[in-house]
Amino acid sequence: MHQRRIPEWLRHAPAPSVRGFALLAGAEAMARGILISVFPLEMYTALQDASLVSEVYFMVGLLSLVVGLMVPFIGRFVARRWIYVAGALMFAGGALLAILGGGAAMIAALALITSATVTTFVCFNAYVLDYVAKADLGRCETSRMFYSALGWTIGPFLGVVLLGWWRPLPFVIAALASGLMLAVFLYMRLGNGRLITKSHRAPANPLAFLPRFLSQRRLVAGWLFAVIRSCGWWIYIVYLPIFALERGFGEELGGLMLSFSNGMLFLTPFMLRWMQQRSIRHAVRVGFLLAGGLFFLAAALSGLPWVTVLALASASFFLILLDVSGGLPFLLAVKPSERTEMSAIYASYRDVSGILTPGVSWLVLLVAPMPGIFAVGGLALLGAWGLARKLHPRLGRARVALEPLSGVAVSSPGSGAGLAS
């Protein structure tokens, strides 16, 4: 009797590949990219007060920090695959909830999407560490950037355009893209990650390494570079569209500027080559100096709104240079035996910047108009430029060519919080 052969892909889960993770990141970029310029506009439209928008983002940032810390704890009781599935469903639910409009619905939608983003981010990184060899991490990150760049480049402007055509459309597309992300995840059949023999010793709590972290000035400096760089992106992503709207430029300008900035991700290989010809210290200092100077120029010439917009758009080029170079001082200072724990502490820069930026902006708006936020951002960036002078002139000179992307993500402007990545 003839027996049917069960297809191989049904009998055995396909081995997770670098391309698979890149596709997963690309689907996420589609979902997040189309909403990143829409939410500040919709929040401002619903609340009619930039200070109140800052207050909401501040509270949502606190929520993101709590959720990010809780994911590993929940993972002790819930399988990782179900945590990721829950995150994808939360994203879709938040996007659909935003269709209702109004202050309460938009705040709840932002909270859901922010929580979903940090949940899937933690799980994604855990899966990458499980299935991608150290030697392939650089290739994985490069592929992730390539597959994500299109979503981050087209999404912000497209989202604002679609918002003008039919308000629910960008939210519907984001929900569908999150469904695609979930479909790719289920097809990859990642499960709960690699099976590892249970240790007799309880896993170390990353918070227990805080004293070690604080005692190493190079690590603290590297973390501060990441926080300040991310704050710069927060100001650009959230407050530039609101500034443009207040100055009568229309809703499309903020999305167009963000798409333009994200399009410069395609220049990162040239930035990396330029950095390798000089030094990490030089690249970091140039990035902070020129970004900070352009933020100050944007504030000083706010009476000429076009100059402010162009100055901030120019500053985003140097923020991308900092995305390429700014994480390397931390990577090269971490001892291999402490890399896992210190990386967990380092990753907190996303949530800290997500709390710090709207919190400070909220206070600034109590005593100054919107350009005051740009001035404070410029002051922080120039402070980092001053701090970077203490970096060793030859830091990473022999190693940067070998591992420029192997341990630090070159985060897309929208992802990371910043908002993102």
Is 80 exceeded by the pLDDT of residue 18? Answer: no
Q: In the prediction, which pLDDT does 260 show?
A: 85
More confident residue, 24 or 311: 311
* Domains in the chain with CATH codes: 16-192+207-388 (1.20.1250.20)
Is 60 exceeded by the pLDDT of residue 128? Answer: yes
Q: In the prediction, which pLDDT does 200 show?
A: 42
Quote the DSSP letter at residue 238.
I
More confident residue, 266 or 313: 313
Q: In the prediction, which pLDDT does 99 show?
A: 93
Kindly tell me the burial class for residue 335, based on how many C-beta atoms sit within 10 Å of its own C-beta (0-12, 13-18, 19 or more): exposed
More confident residue, 1 or 374: 374
In this predicted structure, which of 97-101, 106-110, 182-186, 337-341 has the lowest mean pLDDT?
Answer: 337-341
More confident residue, 204 or 348: 348
- Report pLDDT digits (tens) over 247-257: 888 767 877 88
CB 140 within 8 A of CB 235: no
**Nearest alpha carbon to residue 335 among 202, 201, 205, 213:** 213
Q: What is the DSSP string of 305-323?
A: HHHHHHHHHHHHHHHHHHH
Q: In the prediction, which pLDDT does 310 show?
A: 93
Is 90 exceeded by the pLDDT of residue 176? Answer: yes
Q: In the prediction, which pLDDT does 402 show?
A: 39
Q: How confident is the model at residue 3 (pLDDT cuts 50, 70, 90)?
A: low
Q: What is the mean pLDDT of residues 169-174?
A: 94
The whole-angstrom separation of Cα 71 and Cα 76 is 9
Is 90 exceeded by the pLDDT of residue 93? Answer: yes
In this predicted structure, which of 62-76, 214-228, 329-343, 383-397 has the lowest mean pLDDT?
Answer: 329-343
Q: Which residue has the tokens 């001082």?
A: 329
The whole-angstrom separation of Cα 251 and Cα 159 is 10
Q: How confident is the model at residue 395 (pLDDT cuts 50, 70, 90)?
A: low
CB 231 within 8 A of CB 416: no
CB 345 within 8 A of CB 213: yes
pTM here is: 0.73
CB 145 within 8 A of CB 414: no
Q: What is the mean pLDDT of residues 125-132?
A: 74
Q: In the prediction, which pLDDT does 339 show?
A: 55
More confident residue, 116 or 269: 116
Q: In the prediction, which pLDDT does 201 show?
A: 47
Q: What is the mean pLDDT of residues 236-258?
A: 82
Quote the DSSP letter at residue 4.
P
More confident residue, 290 or 405: 290
For 164, other C-beta atoms within 10 Å of its C-beta total 12
**Nearest alpha carbon to residue 260 among 285, 281, 241:** 241
Kindly tell me the burial class for residue 34, based on how many C-beta atoms sit within 10 Å of its own C-beta (0-12, 13-18, 19 or more): buried
Q: What is the mean pLDDT of residues 7-29?
A: 69
Widest pairwise Cα distance in the chain: 85
Is 50 exceeded by the pLDDT of residue 30? Answer: yes
CB 343 within 8 A of CB 249: no
Task: Compute the chain's Rg from CA coordinates.
Answer: 21
Q: What is the mean pLDDT of residues 191-199?
A: 49
Q: What is the mean pLDDT of residues 106-122?
A: 89
Handedness of CA 283, 284, 289, 295 (dihedral sign): positive
Is 90 exceeded by the pLDDT of residue 196? Answer: no
Residues 6+ apart with CB under 8 A from 291: 232, 315, 318, 319, 322, 381
Q: Which amino acid, 275?
A: M
CB 110 within 8 A of CB 174: no
The full length of the chain comes to 421
In the chain, pLDDT over 90 holds for what percent of residues? Answer: 25
Quote the DSSP letter at residue 326.
T
Mean pLDDT of the chain: 79
